[in-house]
Amino acid sequence: MDDTIVALSTPYGESGIGVIRLSGSASIEVAQKVFKGKRNLKDVPSHKAVFGYVINPQTGEKLDECLLLIMRGPHSYTGEDTVEFYVHGSPMLEELIIKLLVELGARLALPGEFTKRAFLNGKLDLSRAEAIIDIIQAKSEAGLKSSFIQLQGRLSGEIKPIMEDLKDLIAELEAGIDFPEEVEISYESIKERISNIIERLSNILGGAYFTRLYRKGLYCPIVGRPNVGKSSLLNILLGEERAIVTPIPGTTRDTITESISIEGIPLTLIDTAGIRETQDLVESIGVNRTIASIENADIVIWVVDASEPLMEEDLEIEKITKNKKRVIALNKIDLPDRLLYIETLELYGPVVEISCKTGEGIDRLRSKLKELLGSIPSPELVIPINSRHEALIKRCIGRLSTALEGINIKFPIDIIAGEIWESYNILGEITGETTSIDIVEEIFSRFCVGK
Ligand SMILES: Nc1nc2c(ncn2[C@@H]2O[C@H](COP(=O)(O)OP(=O)(O)OP(=O)(O)O)[C@@H](O)[C@H]2O)c(=O)[nH]1
Ligand SMILES: [Mg+2]
């Protein structure tokens, strides 16, 4: 990690200014070679901008005017000596300066490498570092707020004390193993403490649904057999002709994803290929995607055609959406030769009668969706956790539950201690204490270059 890295930290393209960032022990020395100001950079105080010129180190020729900011480690984003050049936002110029800096010994930074260094230098734990990418990619104000709360350490603030408690438990159990004569383990108290930790973790898990909602919107596939009007419904909810609508069954083959907001709730609508048995390869891939989208759904809209009786294929869809929050849209109620009525469907859940042709019932459908989604708390009230954290916490609860069971059936104490060690390590993956380097690399590779 002792090499010095460089990258453009503003987006590539013509802009007001461009920021080129260097980080590493040789930053100031390398920067000095392409900079000419009133003072030598080693005499410039930290966090104070200085004016000067970017120069070609070979010829001394001035290339641009610039501001330069030195942030000496550990008081910098990465924890290392950092230099930022603020130059005119010209891609030609930026490329030229970066090329010079690389010739002088800096190395091009990898995606997320500045933040990775911040993490490795202990400036922030892993869950806080992950919040940074969510801030950059935020799609809604609620998402931004939730990510910022994570950056402030809200999740780590919950996890770290639990890890401490687990450590205390392990110490006690190990004392009992090492000195069975002197230390008597109180199983009742241990059980109580494990149960308490499970409860606290379950409480944190409660934030997963809302965090996803704030950041990504809820995932809502529109499903049904071919030709019932799924694409028509997507279009009417979006207010634009996004998906192709035709009377030919099997029109939609790939999934189409669009975001809407229903009274402030961000909803990701997915128009899907109608589910049916098909010999057509493209269509069957579409059908598989539809099935996958149902698995990930927070809520589904199941569309049924009022002008036809319920068919085998409708009932198939009923089955695979059964365990999901679901609203049934009984479509095409404008047609005179109506065969299917609301009473038949109410058995399967809430039904709204609609017509994508006349627009009737669409407002009622929106209200029903909102009603099913329930009220949404403000992001400040929710512990932010992403899907990685969620999976880890679930695994941890699994281990602790095994430990509890182990105590009940009088398992040897070292096995129980082993389970608690595992749960400690799993939580450490959230904060980064015990995360493997592969996972750390994978997380930072999702960042942009220059961050
Ligand atoms: N009368 C009437 N026709 C409708 C209504 N909604 C959709 N249609 C018609 O039904 C046909 C199929 O509509 P689509 O929206 O393409 O149906 P789909 O479910 O997306 O179909 P696939 O993509 O093939 O699975 C088209 O001819 C639409 O114009 C409605 O409310 N009333
Ligand atoms: Mg369609």
Mean pLDDT of 241-246: 92
Both structure tokens of 450: 């220059």
Pocket test for ligand 1, best of 230, 244, 245 (most atoms within 8 A of CB): 245
**Same domain flag for 292 and 169:** no
**Same domain flag for 63 and 202:** no
Reported as a single tens digit per residue, the pLDDT across 403-428 is 999 999 988 889 999 999 999 999 99
Pocket test for ligand 1, best of 222, 230, 232 (most atoms within 8 A of CB): 232
CA gap 397, 294 in Å, rounded: 26
Reported as a single tens digit per residue, the pLDDT across 348-360 is 999 999 999 999 9
C-beta of residue 139 within 8 angstroms of C-beta of residue 215: yes
Question: Ligand 2 center to residue 356 CA distance, Å?
Answer: 13
Q: Is residue 36 part of a domain?
A: yes
Q: Is residue 61 part of a domain?
A: yes
Q: Measuring from atom 16 of ligand 1, which residue has the nearest CA?
A: 245
**Same domain flag for 225 and 361:** yes
Q: 1 falls in which pLDDT band (50, 70, 90)?
A: low
Question: Ligand 2 center to residue 104 CA distance, Å?
Answer: 58
Question: Ligand 2 center to residue 290 CA distance, Å?
Answer: 12
CA gap 192, 361 in Å, rounded: 52
3-class SS letters over 51-90: EEEEECCCCCCEEEEEEEEEECCCCCCCCCCEEEEEEEEC
**Same domain flag for 241 and 359:** yes
Amino acid at 202: S
**Same domain flag for 294 and 249:** yes
253 vs 166, which has greater pLDDT? 166
Count of beta carbons in the 10 Å neighbourhood of residue 261: 10
Domains in the chain, number: 3
Q: Is residue 10 part of a domain?
A: yes
Q: Measuring from atom 2 of ligand 1, which residue has the nearest CA?
A: 332
Both structure tokens of 21: 């960032």
Q: Which residues pair with 331 in a beta bridge?
A: 305
Q: Which of 57-61, 91-95, 203-207, 444-448 has the lowest mean pLDDT?
A: 444-448
* Cβ 82 under 6 angstroms from ligand 1: no
Question: Ligand 1 center to residue 325 CA distance, Å?
Answer: 24
**Same domain flag for 205 and 225:** no
Phi/psi at 22 (5° precision): -115, 140
Q: 365 falls in which pLDDT band (50, 70, 90)?
A: very high
The domain in which residue 192 lies consists of: 141-212+386-445
Ligand 1, residue 250: give the atom nearest the CA: 24
Q: Is residue 123 part of a domain?
A: no
Q: Is residue 381 part of a domain?
A: no
For residue 60, give every residue at least 6 positions away whose Cβ sits within 8 Å of its Cβ, in sequence order, or none. Answer: 36
**Same domain flag for 66 and 166:** no
**Same domain flag for 95 and 171:** no
